[in-house]
Amino acid sequence: MPAGLAGVVAVACGDKFANALRSDGTVVSWGDNSLGQLNLPVGLTNVTAIAAGDAHTLGLLTNGTVVAWGSNSAGQVNVPSNLFNVVGIAAGNGYGAALKSDGTVVVWGDNTYGVCNVPANATGIVKIVGGATDILALRSDETVVAWGRDNTNQTDVPAGLSNVVGLASGRNTSTAVLADGTTVNWPANTFLPNSLSGVVSVSTRESIWMTNIYLSVAPYTVTEGTSVGGQVRLTVPAPAGGATVHLLAADASISVPATVVVPAGATTAVFPISSSSKSAVSLVTSVTATYGTGSSTAMVTVLPPHFASLTLSTRTVTTGSTTQVMGTVSLSGPAQKKEVVTLTSSDPDFSVPASATIPVGATSATFIVHQTFLVQPRKITLTATAEGITQSTSLLALPLQPKTLTLVNFTIPGGSSTTATLTLTAVTASDAVVTLMANDPVSAPSQVTVPKGSSSVKFTVSTVPVSADGGSALTAVFNGVFLTTGVAVNAPRLATVRVSPTTVYGGAVTTATVALTSPAPAGGTVVNLDETHLVGPSSVTIPEGQTTVNVSYTTGNVGTVTVATLTGTLGSQSLSAKATVLPNLPHTVTFSSVTVKGGTSLTGTVTLDAPANLDEFVGLSCSDSSVVGIPSAVTIPTGSSSVSFTITTSAVSSTRNVVITATRAGESVSRTLVVTK
């Protein structure tokens, strides 16, 4: 080991070499370098986790990417180029593995044993560990999935395995740590001890067969102040009305009911055997059951109360949380005298009282396990002793750490913000200050505080406008643990292209509005514009920091109803808006008088549907030019909706009806003029 190595927060060992991760994010390696195991990438820093295979090492960086060095015999240091948002790593013989923030797993390198074939059910993963040629993965529901080499059934996860909080994998064995502090190992023939617990005794039952009745007691020992069960069984079903069996205790150290009835048609019945003996030593007595001429006797041992168990309110505690660990010492029955139980702890940071006292008549007493804030997990052994009997139990103490770092939106437009939630592994007992790190274009507060009595805190993640899609990692650091998630930041997209009004007469001006999904970056955002039946600019620039811009277009002077289209294009995205352009048609033809005497003049007026946006030409005609004289056309000037013209008439010998017609764009309106003699 290198002299003076300090500030180490994690180690990872391979075959004849080792790595140490220091608190400043750098890595130190030593040992065999025959395959480049010690050739760290130049300038390597910002490392948050390390994992070692047989001859290579992986490093997880704060930005959610992975670096690798050492032997590349099977491509194990060729980290996939598109691997981002990594939150965990593992390595084995010739392979590397990465756990992503979305709960999926990516594996690369040697696939001889199928370790790179991640199964479809490997989802919702929160932790991975690498064996020599296999991988174990812990799901968020505390179940396990495994894959890779199975030569000794090391990837055959036991059916029903749940409540898993930790995993380990060796060359041919696998181990799961359960929430209650016990372990499960597989394959079944492993030499590792499996599911150890506080076993203190075993017992068998004692019985005697008689002619027509059988009596059994299970267990055959009873503690003073408690009871056990007895059972009588007839050799034939009880008759109608049932069978009454008489019971008799050999002495006053135990008590039983005088009789027990076996129901009609049944062969068995149960009854209690209790003890109220105050003896300080064990007594052997018996119970006899009699039915008709037959009887059966079972022996019973009466035990004085003894120290039976040491239990904890929880076997796993997160230090710095509000969870209080309570211990309980229990007797097998009510105390006949004050019982003082001596208590000890293997760890001075998790202290217990010197003793706990069980009062007379009680069966148990409780005590508090005092905790200290930790930065690394510890396993503490607590021991209790009374009357020469010692009971022990273990407590797994975990440090308070970041658990999840989530965003309302993991992909957001540049210049906008979203809400992030940081959750710790437990409810904190005091204010917990968490450091936050982010790089442009993402920003967040330098610190957030998870308040006392809470397990989470919300904060705002902001971004600046960008000209191209990108992003950055957001990292929370607390108690020496780095938790990273990725934030994707998008360049502006077209939000809308619209025109107003959407129905206009030819030659009118309409306003186009181009809007972005997020503010334009430095230099502005140029949107190309393509139009039909509109006259205006071919592009528009939305200024820096703005999301919208307005531009004016003039519609064409159309002869029929026409649809004008404006299309905005930004990159590969296009949006269009449409406006209906109406021809400005003659609306009415009117006269200063509808009846006129031949040989005199009058005034006619042509009126359009709307004021003219351009000078409008309207043709005029009449049904009898020998009687009525009019111009062949009139021009309605811009801004006006009508124009007047002179009508002359000739003398007539009889009344004549002459139709005068105004025509534009194929549409006509007419009015009849009555010429009298």
Residue 598 pLDDT level (bands cut at 50, 70, 90): very high
Domain regions of the chain by residue span: 8-186, 207-303, 307-398, 402-489, 494-582, 586-676
Q: In CATH, which of 2.60.40.10, 3.40.640.10, 2.60.40.420, 3.50.50.60 is domain 586-676?
A: 2.60.40.10
pLDDT value of residue 286: 77
Residue 295 has pLDDT above 80, yes or no: no
pLDDT value of residue 282: 63
207-303: which CATH architecture?
Sandwich (2.60)
Fold category of 8-186 in CATH: Methylamine Dehydrogenase; Chain H (2.130.10)
- Using left for φ > 0, alpha for ψ between -120 and 50, and beta otherwise, residue 388 falls in left
Residue 197 has pLDDT above 60, yes or no: no
267 token code pair: 């062969």
pLDDT value of residue 190: 56
pLDDT value of residue 211: 38
> Residue range 339-362: average pLDDT?
94
User: Any idea what DSSP says for residue 428?
Assistant: B
Residue pair 173/133 in contact (Cβ under 8 Å)? The answer is no
Residue 443's DSSP bridge partners are 462
Residue 411 has pLDDT above 70, yes or no: yes
Residue 400 pLDDT level (bands cut at 50, 70, 90): very high
pLDDT digits (tens, 9 = 90+) for 438-472: 999 999 999 999 999 999 999 999 999 998 999 89
Mean pLDDT, the chain, as a whole number?
Answer: 88
Cα first-last separation, the chain: 131
Fold category of 307-398 in CATH: Immunoglobulin-like (2.60.40)
pLDDT digits (tens, 9 = 90+) for 604-629: 999 998 898 888 899 999 999 999 99
> Residue range 520-541: average pLDDT?
93
- What's the CA gap between 530 and 453, in Å, rounded? 60
- What's the CA gap between 382 and 394, in Å, rounded? 6
Fold category of 402-489 in CATH: Immunoglobulin-like (2.60.40)
Does the domain at 494-582 match CATH 2.60.40.10? Answer given as yes
Query: Would you say the CATH fold of 402-489 matches that of 207-303?
Result: yes
pLDDT digits (tens, 9 = 90+) for 216-273: 665 556 666 677 888 887 767 889 999 999 999 887 878 899 999 999 999 889 999 8
Say whether 609 sits in a helix, a strand or coil: coil
Closest to 304 measured CA to CA, from 325, 263, 275: 275
pLDDT value of residue 24: 86
Buried b (16+ CB within 10 A) or exposed e, 512-544: bebbbbbbbbeebbebebebebbebeeebebee
- What's the CA gap between 58 and 29, in Å, rounded? 12
pLDDT digits (tens, 9 = 90+) for 620-673: 999 999 999 999 999 999 889 999 999 999 999 999 999 999 999 888 999 999
Residue pair 525/508 in contact (Cβ under 8 Å)? The answer is no
pLDDT value of residue 201: 26
Buried b (16+ CB within 10 A) or exposed e, 77-105: bebeeeebbbbbbbbbbbbbbbbbbeeeb
